[in-house]
Amino acid sequence: MKLGPDGCLLRENGQNEVFPATSGIDPIDATGAGDAFNAGFIYGLYHNYDIRTCIAMGNRMGGACVSKVGCLSGYLTEEQLLREFQASNPSR
């Protein structure tokens, strides 16, 4: 479940785990943030990443979206997403 500026909640096996929103983002406009999260999350699913990685990718895409005005101004290309994700999660 998306939690807006508080990140995302994963409920698995009766346990809740909150994934905080991407840090270092100065939010300007939340237009399109949910769709951007979905794009990152689905990208991870499509490429067979585990659920936690999918959530992290979704959070990163949503974070990029809110950093600009409008739903199409702040986005990451596939290369940018993967580069930024690897930089912040070197063990994956």
Tens digit of pLDDT per residue, the chain (92 long)?
Answer: 888 888 899 999 999 999 988 888 888 888 888 899 999 999 999 999 999 999 999 998 998 888 888 777 777 888 988 887 777 665 65
Q: How far apart are CA 92 and CA 51, in angstroms?
A: 13
Q: Supply the pLDDT for residue 26.
A: 83
Range 59-69 burial, b when 16+ CB lie within 10 A, else e:
bbbbbbbbbbe
What are the structure tokens assigned to 2, written together?
A: 């998306």
pTM recorded for the entire structure = 0.80
Rg over alpha carbons for the chain, rounded to the nearest Å, is 12
